[in-house]
Amino acid sequence: MIPANFDYQAPSSVEQAIALLESSHEAKLLAGGHSLLPAMKLRLAEPALLIDLGRIPGLSYVREAGAQVALGAMTTHAAIAESPLLASRSPLLSRAARQIGDVQVRNRGTIGGSIAHADPAADYPAALLALDAEIVARGRKGERTIPAREFFSGLFSTTLLSGELITEIRVPATTGAGTSYAKFHHPASGFAVVGVAAVVKMASGKIQSAAIGITGVADHAYRAGAAERALVNQPASAIAGACSRAAEGVDALGDHFASAEYRKHLAAVYCRRAVQEAMAAKA
């Protein structure tokens, strides 16, 4: 319940935060704190320096950016869930945000903090992968944009470099596509046992393209390439068969609540449900 002691800094700019991050090997960034603080309270994380991003102005927003919607890294799940702009331009992310944790968690937790933590059962990664989102990271050497597909690299790990922090997430507008996020909640933690995000484009009664992001199954969220390919040019009747390949080639994780085999099975079931819902959403 009680974190170990640490030094604390609350920089007022991203540049200061980056400088602080480089000043210590045992520094951690504090965004909403809903991944990090629970770990610190159980003393599973004991950073020497905590850099609180909460005092940096201008990191919380949802705004139009050309064909994309840009979100500040410190935007809370609640703001994402309730955003009218996302509802009209790219509703999938809001839909995923609404299924994160509970009201209190959504009021504090941030998208930047969540994806940097890269919990294998988190909800956003599935949506960001399906959307082909981009993550904007800034470090001492400047800013770079990381495609979501290249961002999640393993269990609690990303391709962020040390000294980098996330400033923005960009998701494309999904006008013309149907989207859905179907989630099997862990009854205790509320995390995804399996979560499937789908972006489906239809043309003359057949699936033109499908992008499917899956969380909860493997050590990090992934794009279900085999299922996506199997869905192209298929009518509704072929969806179940195609979605049975949702976890093809995936090294699944298992625990006392859900074995690897069961998670792979659920991936197929929830993939089908997500794709069907996405198609219905479009119709």
Partner 1 sequence: MTKDIKIKINGVEHRASVEPRLLLVHFLREVAGLTGTHIGCETSLCGACTVMLEGRAVKSCTVLAVQADGASVTTVEGLAQSGALHPVQEGFWEEHGLQCGYCTPGMIMAAADLLEHSPAAAAGATPGDLEIREGLGGNICRCTGYQNIVAAVRSAARKMNRRKKAVAA
Partner 2 sequence: MAIRSRKTGKPAPRQMAPQGTLARAPKKAAERGIAAAQKSRTNGRPEPWVGRRYLRKEDPRLIQGISHYADDLRLPGMLHCVFVRSPHAYARIAGIHTGAARSSPGVVAVYTASDTKALGVVPCAGALPDLKIPRHPVLAEGHVRHVGEPVAAVIAEDLYQARDAAEKVQVEYDPLPAVVDPEKALAGTNFVHASVKSNQAFTHQLKNGDVDAAFSRADRVVKARFVNQRLAPVSMETRGVVAQYLPGEKTLTVWSSTQIPHLLKTQVALILGVPETHVRVVTPEVGGGFGSKLNVYREEAVVPFAAMQLGRPVKWSESRRENIAATIHGRDQINYVELALKKNGTILGMRARVISDLGAYHQLLTPIIPTLTALLISGCYKIGALQCDVVGVFTNKMATDAYRGAGRPEATYIIERMVDLAARELNLDPAEIRRRNFPKPREYPFATITGITYDSGNYENAMKKALELAGYSRLRARQKDAWKRGKYYGVGLSTYVEICAMGPSTAMPAGGWESGTVRVEPTGKITVLTGASPHGQGQETTFAQIVADIFGLTPDDVNIVHGDTAAVPYGIGTFGSRATAVGGTAMYIAAQKVKAKMAAIAAHLLGEKAAAMNFSAGRVGTKKKSLGFGEVVGAAYVARNLPPGVEPGLEATHFFEPSNFTFPFGTHVVSCEVDAETGHIRIDKYVAVDDCGNVINPLLVEGQIHGGIVQGVSQALFEEVIYNEDGQLVTGTLMDYSMPKAAQVPEFILERTCTPSPVNPMGVKGVGEAGTIASTPAVVNAVCDALRPLGITHIDMPLKPEKVWRAIQQARAAAAS
Binding footprint of partner 1 on the chain (CB under 8 A): 1-8, 10, 30, 33-34, 37-38, 40-42, 50, 52, 54, 78, 101-105, 107-108, 188-190
Give the interface segment with partner 2, choosing from 8-16, 106-114, 162-170, 257-265 (CB under 8 A). Answer: 257-265
**Binding partner of residue 187 among partner 2, partner 1, none, CB under 5 to 8 Å per kind?**
partner 2
Length of the chain: 283
Could you please report the per-residue DSSP string of the chain?
--PPP-EEE--SSHHHHHHHHHH-TTEEEESS-TTHHHHHHTTS---SEEEEGGG-TT---EEEETTEEEEETT-BHHHHHH-HHHHHH-HHHHHHHHTSS-HHHHHH-BHHHHHHHT-TT-SHHHHHHHHT-EEEEEETTEEEEEEHHHHEEETTEESPPTT-EEEEEEEE--TTSEEEEEEEE-TTT--EEEEEEEEEEEETTEEEEEEEEEESSSSS-EE-HHHHHHHTT--GGGHHHHHTTTTTT------SSS-HHHHHHHHHHHHHHHHHHHHHHH-
256: partner contacted, choices partner 2, partner 1, none (Cβ within 5-8 A by kind):
partner 2
Shortest spacing between CB 172 and partner 1, in angstroms: 26
Question: How far is 65 from 58, CA to CA, in rounded Å?
Answer: 15
Nearer to partner 2, 93 or 121 (CB): 121
Q: Return the residue of 1, 103, 203, 283 that touches partner 2, per CB under 8 A.
A: 1
Q: Judging by DSSP bridges, how do beta strands 165-172 and 134-139 pair with one another? A: antiparallel
Which positions from 178 to 197 touch partner 2 by CB under 8 A, shown as an x/- string?
A: ------x--xxx--------
Nearest approach in angstroms of CB 221 to partner 1 is 22
Nearest approach, Cβ of residue 62 and partner 1 (Å) = 17
82 vs 219, which CB is nearer to partner 1? 82
Q: Which is nearer to partner 1, 42 or 236 (CB)?
A: 42
The candidate with the shortest Cα–Cα distance to 163, out of 253, 248, 51, is 51
Identify residue 228 by its one-letter amino acid code: E
State which of residues 7, 42, 157, 280 lies at the interface with partner 2 (CB under 8 A): 42
Q: 259 is in the binding site of which of partner 2, partner 1, none (Cβ under 5 to 8 A by kind)? A: partner 2
Among 13, 88, 233, 259, binds partner 2 (CB under 8 A): 259
By CB under 8 A, which span of 126-134, 143-151, 159-167, 260-268 interacts with partner 2? 260-268
**Can residue 43 be called a binding residue for partner 2 (CB under 8 A)?**
yes
Which of 108, 117, 144, 265 touches partner 2 by CB under 8 A?
Answer: 265
Q: Residues in the site for partner 2, rule: CB under 8 A?
A: 1-2, 4-5, 42-43, 184, 187-189, 256-259, 262, 265-266, 269
